[in-house]
Copies of this chain bind each other. A is one copy, B any other.
Amino acid sequence: MPHTYEYPRPALAVDCAVLGFDEGDLKVLLIKRGLEPFKGKWALPGGFVRLDESLDVAARRELAEETGLTHVFLEQLYTFGEVKRDPRGRTVSVAYFALVKLGEQQVQAATDAQAAQWFSAEQAPALAFDHARILETALGRLRNKVRYVPIGFELLPRKFTLTQLQHLYEAILGRALDKRNFRKKALALGVLEATKEQEQDVAHRAARLYRFDEETYAKLVKKGFNFEL
Stretch from A49-57, A97-105, A112-120 forming part of the interface with B = A49-57
Contacts of A81 in B (CB 8 A): 49, 54-56, 58, 94
Tell me, yes or no, whether A218 is within 8 Å of chain B by CB. no
Contact code string A73-106 (vs B, CB < 8 Å = 1, else 0): 0001011011100011110101000000000000
Q: Report the minimal beta-carbon distance from A37 to chain B, rounded to whole angstroms.
A: 7
Nearest B-chain residue to A58, judged by Cβ: B81
Interchain CB contact under 8 A, B12 and A92:
yes
Nearest B-chain residue to A84, judged by Cβ: B54
Q: Report the minimal beta-carbon distance from A160 to chain B, rounded to whole angstroms.
A: 29
Interface size class of A (residues with CB under 8 A): 35 or more
Chain A, range 1-30, C-beta contacts under 8 Å to B: 1-5, 7-12
Interchain CB contact under 8 A, A51 and B8:
yes
Q: Report the minimal beta-carbon distance from A86 to chain B, rounded to whole angstroms.
A: 10
Interchain CB contact under 8 A, B79 and A55:
yes
Question: A-side interface residues toward B, CB under 8 Å?
Answer: 1-5, 7-12, 35-37, 48-56, 58, 76, 78-79, 81-83, 87-90, 92, 94
